[in-house]
Amino acid sequence: MIQAPAPPPPSRRRHDREIISLAVPAFGALVAEPLFVMVDSAIVGHLGTPQLAGLAVAAALLTTAVSIFVFLAYATTAAVARRVGAGDLASAIRQGMDGIWLAILLGIAVIAVALPTAPWLVDVFGASDTAAPYAITYLRISSLGIPAMLVVLAATGVLRGLQDTRTPLYVAIGGFAANGALNAGLVYGAGLGIAGSAWGTVIAQVSMAVAYLIVVVRGARRHGASLRPDAAGIRASAQAGVPLLVRTLSLRAVLMIATAVAARLGDTEIAAHQIILSLWSLMAFALDAIAIAGQAIIGRYLGADDAKGAREACRRMVQWGIVSGVVFGALIVLVRPLLVPLFTSDRAVQDTLLPALLVVALSQPIAGVVFVLDGVLMGAGDGRYLAWAMLATLAIFAPVALLVPVIGGGLTALWWAMALMMTVRMVTLWLRTRSGKWIVTGATR
């Protein structure tokens, strides 16, 4: 007689509930943030092509500036989660406040650089003479919102470390709605043009930062945590963030090299590459949601001196990453013939896109493992290894990608190089997690 399969062990069900409860809201918040730029583009696009071109240049600069400091969220999540696991909520929130103060200082420094250098930055990015004035206007005004956005990153890390991903989702949705309403009102109602779009975005960003600060301050008062800046704590937050900054810059270098190579291949290839990169980024958001859950869960287990729980959670999240990657890959293969015409009617671009997209589909299970293990090691505070591993990956990827125009193979060969990059990342991360060296328990690493 065939017996029914045994129910999953309680620990697996517990891990699944934790992953879902943290990852689903995190995914919503991750997707909501890029919608800011989409709303701005839709509204500014009706002002004219020069205005939209100016927005594109300024938005690229602003996105790069903010993404460089994403370590404010990652490092804060790991540090706060450890202290939550150790049962010291006051210290957890105090650590989070150090990250927020660091975000404010970095934001002020970015403004000091961006305001006087805006014309030069716009020129370096190749804005046309007609688009440059609009790009400079948008960049200068929007740079005033960078401190708020960095505070949002740090405060998001605090709440994730406290195992709360719902509040960031609600704040992201509210910010998105406010941004849309303010942009429409200031651009068209007040007749401020592209400046109105920039001011609307700044006001929405500041409002989001204020909402986060209200939540964090309430938590600090509830648990008796100090809100004053602490030089030693801010310095410690900066030191913890440096390796993650190196990792992020290395990853950005990979994407920039890939785009530069695609541009050298021709207009058809760069157009197809941009479409693939957009789809790849969307899937990355979903996989990154599991990684965010991993940061919070792993940090908490290690802070509670529960090495076994950390290993079990890591193992379960890797399974989630593999399954998610297989599902995404299968979806790409199934909808590929229907999806491609939605992005372009150019037959040459479609023909270039289809085989390269198949490579992306095949590499999704690898991406699932990479994102999860990346989150696990971030949650463990293993930033130094992540930095060296990403630098090694960049060293392998760069020469391979730069050879693509020489050896041929077009865009498909370039995305095979991207698949190689993800494979190298998977190997380096898997070797680290298998070694167990990432498992350092206690309230601090």
Please report the DSSP string for 290-301 in residue order.
HHHHHHHHHHHH
pLDDT tens column, 216-236: 999 989 988 888 888 888 998
Give me the mean pLDDT over the 351-357 stretch.
88
pLDDT tens column, 32-89: 666 666 677 778 777 887 888 787 778 878 877 878 888 888 888 988 999 999 888 8
Q: Which DSSP symbol is given to 228? A: S
pLDDT at 205 over 50: yes
Give me the mean pLDDT over the 346-372 stretch.
90
The H helix count followed by the E strand count for the chain is 15, 0
pLDDT for position 98: 93
Give me the mean pLDDT over the 309-335 stretch.
91
Find, among 236, 252, 216, 231, the residue nearest to 75 by Cα: 236
pLDDT for position 3: 39
The percentage of residues in the chain with a pLDDT greater than 90, rounded to a whole number, is: 44
pLDDT for position 36: 67
Q: Rounded distance, CA 255 to CA 373, Å?
A: 20
Find, among 166, 123, 140, 174, the residue nearest to 28 by Cα: 166
Tell me if residue 168 falls in helix, strand or coil: helix
Q: Which residues contact 174 (CB under 8 A, 6 or more apart)?
A: 207, 208, 211
* 202-211, 250-259, 282-291, 413-422: least confidently modelled range: 282-291
pLDDT tens column, 122-181: 887 777 788 889 889 999 999 999 999 999 989 998 998 898 888 988 898 898 889 889
pLDDT for position 277: 81
The answer to whether 327 and 60 are in contact (CB under 8 A) is no
pLDDT tens column, 249-287: 999 899 888 888 888 888 788 778 877 887 887 788 888
pLDDT for position 37: 66
The answer to whether 160 and 168 are in contact (CB under 8 A) is yes
